[in-house]
Amino acid sequence: MNRRLGAFLGAALAGVLLIGAPAATLAADSRDTMGPSKPEDPNYTAGMKAVDSGNFMAAIPLLERVVERDGANADAYNSLAYAIRKSGDPARAISIYQKALAIDPKHRSAHEYIGEAYLELNDVAKAREHLAALDRLCFLPCSQYRDLKKAIETYQARGR
């Protein structure tokens, strides 16, 4: 019986280590791909560079071209909505985030960012819906869940 218990505990420890190893990749940016790569779209590359540098107005037309050519690119829709929201138009961003989520209902960044857009529009109930979706999607705690939860807490601490 001790041998069985030892084997079980060893297997359990190995399982924990295996689960822990890919945890970093579970929280990876949606731009990371695990499948075979397709040729990079220069507009997407330039648009993401503009987003990363905070130049949202420059990113918008580039990302619009991407989604015109590839209407199934959830990452491009998410990044386009992000750029639109960050340039000051959260209401317009909502429908674009919804397109990203229609393509990929498990897109964690889109859930986080649409939740933040709803907070900017003073709709905490909708933000909480996306927090709940992230709670279901994140087997292990993920940055998108933590970030949206913190944004909701900050929003509420300001008396809204």
Over residues 54-60, mean pLDDT: 98
32 pLDDT above the threshold of 70: no
pLDDT in tens, 67-105: 999 999 999 999 999 999 999 999 999 999 999 999 999
Quick check: pTM over 0.85?
A: no
Helices 90-103 + 74-86 axis angle, to 10: 170
- Conformation bin of residue 55: beta by default, left when phi > 0, alpha when psi is -120 to 50: beta
66 pLDDT above the threshold of 70: yes
pLDDT in tens, 128-150: 999 999 999 998 889 999 999 99
Coil vs helix vs strand at 29: coil
Structural domains of the chain, with CATH:
37-157 (1.25.40.10)
Could you give the CA distance from residue 111 to residue 17 in angstroms, rounded to a whole number? 29
pLDDT in tens, 33-46: 444 456 789 999 99
